[in-house]
Amino acid sequence: VFDHKEFDQHENVAFINDEVTGLRAIIAVHNTALGPSLGGCRMYPYADSAAALTDVLRLAKGMTYKAALANLPQGGGKSVIIADPRADKTPELMRKMGSFVDSLQGQYIVAEDSGIAVQDIKYMAENTAYAGGLSAHFNYLGESADGNPSPATAYGVYVGMAAAVAFRLGKSLADVTVAIQGLGQVGYRLAEHLHAAGAKLIVADTYQPNVDRAITELGAKAVAIADIHKVAAEVFSPCAMGASINSDTIHEIQAVVIAGAANNQLASDDFGEVLLARDILYAPDYVINAAGIIDLYHQSIKSTPEQLKAHIESIGDTLTDIFKRSQAENQATNMIANLLAEAKFKK
């Protein structure tokens, strides 16, 4: 029996060790009940293959939940290449990865993740049709775009935050102060949407130029990295790294809504219960940040910008359903999201 602490009903886990190109990689397919599994390929110099396996199994499972609640006809999968993206990348390695993806005959569709660029996917695509995120011809506003999912993700978080603020406070975003942790690809674009809507911004980023820009362009107030989660704001928006809601920070949060782009915001699932008990409305991360894969899907089926935009905006309705059920059943929003996702893909 294959046993691993993260192994949880995965349908297929494939390994490759190619002596010619040096490719060492794993593809994990978690669930394909709703469609072929889609998920990025991460290239990272894992300490050992056990660490890589743990990561890929966990990430693949997360993609199943994300795709299900984004109402996509897709399942969850992910792949990892065990190597250093700065030192070990060759076209041959990527082409071999393409052949590896192809060997699953469409059960898994590869896209970009950390360490993997559009050019790498292009090399993979020489050997497989099962590659996405190659290039986009438009974004959700109908403008020509390069395939970067961040503008879509930022718009989805903005729409989701508006739904959360309406539910918890009965207000629009024009009347709230939002504390944004991380002004990167997603966080800065989110800040721009919020500023345009009239919200007040408090920001923090480890990279000072991003902060300076937000002060100048968006009238934001800057605070120290260590303080952003505990400032007086109605909304806290984690848009940097994961686990920002943990045993050190959770009791210091003054916001009544948490809505941000970061993956794995809760250091553990149990913190959802603590937020519920404190009457802080938490927008589950994989629901609110799903517009990136929604964007990828619409590029692949060549739909219109209007269809893409409407699909992104449905994130607000999905969240409102979760909030209502959470309130009715007095259960944490992250647990309700998991139950709703499971009801879709476990049918």
How distant, in Å, are the alpha carbons of 74, 102, 258, 278 from that of 218?
38, 46, 21, 31
Q: Binding residue for ligand NAI (CB under 6 A) from 115, 147, 187, 284?
A: 187
Q: Tell me the residue nearest to ligand NAI as measured from the CB.
A: 184
Q: Is residue 145 within 8 Å of 135, Cβ to Cβ?
A: no
**Active site includes 96?**
no
Q: Binding residue for ligand NAI (CB under 6 A) from 184, 230, 243, 250?
A: 184
Q: Which of 292, 261, 319, 284 is nearest to 74 (CA)?
A: 292
Total interface residues for ligand NAI by CB under 6 A: 25
Enter the tokens of residue 273: 């219960």
* Catalytic, out of 78, 89, 200, 309: 78
Q: Which residues pair with 15 in a beta bridge?
A: 26
Tell me the C-alpha distance between 142 and 132, whole Å. Answer: 19
Q: Binding residue for ligand NAI (CB under 6 A) from 23, 80, 255, 262?
A: 262
Q: Binding residue for ligand NAI (CB under 6 A) from 32, 107, 181, 334?
A: 181
Q: Binding residue for ligand NAI (CB under 6 A) from 77, 182, 272, 284?
A: 182
Q: Kindly state whether residue 183 participates in binding ligand NAI, applying the rule CB under 6 A.
A: yes
CB of 207 to ligand NAI, least distance (A): 4
Nearer to ligand NAI, 15 or 207 (CB): 207
| Count of beta carbons in the 10 Å neighbourhood of residue 260 | 29
Q: Kindly state whether residue 233 participates in binding ligand NAI, applying the rule CB under 6 A.
A: no
Binding map of ligand NAI across residues 286-305, x = CB under 6 A, - = no contact: ---x--x-------------
CB of 151 to ligand NAI, least distance (A): 8
Binding map of ligand NAI across residues 116-155, x = CB under 6 A, - = no contact: ---------------------------------xx--x--
Enter the tokens of residue 87: 């030192």
Tell me the C-alpha distance between 214 and 203, whole Å. Answer: 8
Sheet holding 221-222, edge to edge: 221-222, 200-204, 177-181, 235-238, 257-258, 281-282
| Count of beta carbons in the 10 Å neighbourhood of residue 95 | 20
Nearer to ligand NAI, 34 or 204 (CB): 204
Q: Which residue has the tokens 């996509």?
A: 72
Q: Kindly state whether residue 205 participates in binding ligand NAI, applying the rule CB under 6 A.
A: yes
Q: Binding residue for ligand NAI (CB under 6 A) from 206, 254, 304, 307?
A: 206
CB of 180 to ligand NAI, least distance (A): 9
Q: Kindly state whether residue 226 participates in binding ligand NAI, applying the rule CB under 6 A.
A: no
Strands (E) located in 84-227: 108-112, 177-181, 200-204, 221-222
Enter the tokens of residue 25: 């990689």
Q: Kindly state whether residue 308 participates in binding ligand NAI, applying the rule CB under 6 A.
A: no
Q: Kindly state whether residue 39 participates in binding ligand NAI, applying the rule CB under 6 A.
A: no
* Helices within 8-144 (DSSP H only): 49-69, 91-102, 118-125
* Sole window of 49-57, 90-98, 125-133, 259-267 interacting with ligand NAI (rule: CB under 6 A): 259-267
Q: Kindly state whether residue 210 participates in binding ligand NAI, applying the rule CB under 6 A.
A: yes
Q: Kindly state whether residue 237 participates in binding ligand NAI, applying the rule CB under 6 A.
A: no
Instruction: Return left, alpha or beta for 184; rule: phi > 0 is left, psi -120 to 50 is alpha, else beta.
Output: beta
Residue 293 burial by CB count (10 A; 0-12/13-18/19+): exposed, middle or buried?
buried
* Sole window of 74-82, 132-140, 233-241, 303-311 interacting with ligand NAI (rule: CB under 6 A): 233-241
List contacts with ligand NAI (CB under 6 A). Answer: 149-150, 153, 181-187, 204-207, 210, 225, 239-242, 261-263, 289, 292
